[in-house]
Amino acid sequence: MAHHHYTPTHYHVAIGPHEPVLRIATGDTVSTTTVDARGRDASNEQVTPRGNPQTGPFYIEGAEPGDTLVVRFDRIWPNRQRGWTATAIAPHVLDPGFNPEFTDQVDLAEWAVDLEKGTARMTSPPSPLGKIELPLAPMLGCFGVAPPRDQAISTATSSTHGGNMDYRGFVQGATVYFPVFVPGALLHVGDCHAVQGDGEIVGTGIEISAEVTFGVDLIKGRQINWPRAENADYIMAVGNARPLDQCVQHATTEMVRWLTSDFGLDARTAHLLLGQCVQYDLGNIYDPAYTMVCKVSKKVLEEIGAVRK
């Protein structure tokens, strides 16, 4: 149950079978830092090339293909006071041929982040939007484990191994489950957003460097197909693909598997329950693979006596 401190010296823009920076055991926790999407650290210095650079990977002792890796985020919090966002909705999120009529040519907006008050406020460009303070909800946009088949997959995109899911539910307090594809799982973490709207439709949240503390565990011999997660209120299954329809298919199928295998529901009950109680969140509709999240209330599961095995 060791607590490790790791100060990164290098980063990766693909998630793959890289040399581990630290070997940790189940039950251990790690405190480390992540740079922002452009490779800038807590002092706003660029220390590595842009593109959602990842801290890690962390080798989890005992993790083998076919296991499930459990990652509990104890802390995800910005470690500087300036963030930035892109300033235009991506063309593929708007009707084809609908071109915005901007009167400026500003590519980046700057945001002041008040770590004490827990708020962010846009400081440039000049805009009525600068009048308001948004509450911080810091999340990790991109994290995951080494994928199967000797792949190294760009941190621009996502798949069964996680990656650039840009889902604003991945905040501190969340626990995320990953399929393990390689010995040690090789966990990578990065790309904090201080705030993000659904869909990450401008292509960024409020991008910022961060302190991250996480704990790990293993479920030996239990294989999952897609990332799963939970927080105090919900269990969640994540689908990463294109188009969004396919994300929904993956996430819903994974939720049915979860409910029927781990929670012991018969298939009919799982379908009936989802039919009237399911909720979906849009992770991102910006990256090469989009993300949809299928959620079920823990309270409902408790009330019907569905207990996790």
Interface positions, 222-251, toward a second copy (CB under 8 A)? 241-246, 248-250
Binding window for a second copy (CB under 8 A); candidates: 36-44, 54-62, 227-235, 263-271: 263-271
**Other CB atoms within 10 Å distance of the CB of residue 225:** 14
Q: By C-beta, is 70 or 194 nearer to a second copy?
A: 194
**Other CB atoms within 10 Å distance of the CB of residue 46:** 12
Q: Please give the Cα distance from 15 to 162 (Å, whole number).
A: 9
Contact by Cβ (8 Å): 196, 286: no
Residue 276 in contact with a second copy, rule: CB under 8 A: yes
Contact by Cβ (8 Å): 173, 214: no
Of 220, 261, 279, 308, the residue at the interface with a second copy (CB under 8 A) is 279
Binding window for a second copy (CB under 8 A); candidates: 26-34, 70-78, 184-192, 200-208: 200-208
* Residues touching a second copy, count (CB under 8 A): 90
Q: Please give the Cα distance from 207 to 59 (Å, whole number).
A: 27
Binding window for a second copy (CB under 8 A); candidates: 40-48, 53-61, 216-224, 259-267: 259-267
Residues 15-54 that bind a second copy (CB under 8 A): 16, 51
Residue 108 in contact with a second copy, rule: CB under 8 A: no
Considering the complex, what minimum distance in angstroms separates the CB of residue 105 from a second copy?
10
Burial track 236-245 (b if 16+ CB lie within 10 A, e otherwise): bbbbbbeebe
> What stretch of H or E contains 303?
helix 298-303
Considering the complex, what minimum distance in angstroms separates the CB of residue 306 from a second copy?
7
Considering the complex, what minimum distance in angstroms separates the CB of residue 107 from a second copy?
11
Q: Alpha-carbon torsion 8, 80, 51, 225, what sign?
A: positive
Phi, psi of 8 (to 5 degrees): -65, 145
Residue 219 in contact with a second copy, rule: CB under 8 A: no
Of 97, 107, 116, 232, the residue at the interface with a second copy (CB under 8 A) is 97
Residue 100 in contact with a second copy, rule: CB under 8 A: yes
SS3 label, residue 23: strand
Binding window for a second copy (CB under 8 A); candidates: 7-15, 20-28, 30-38, 73-81: 7-15
Residues 57-86 that bind a second copy (CB under 8 A): 85-86
The tokens describing 242, both together, are 């294109």
The tokens describing 175, both together, are 């626990």
Residue 107 in contact with a second copy, rule: CB under 8 A: no
Q: By C-beta, is 31 or 269 nearer to a second copy?
A: 269
Angle of the 267-277 helix axis to the 244-261 helix axis, nearest 10: 130
Q: Please give the Cα distance from 244 to 16 (Å, whole number).
A: 25
Residues 130-169 that bind a second copy (CB under 8 A): 131-132, 134, 147-156
DSSP structure class, residue 171: B
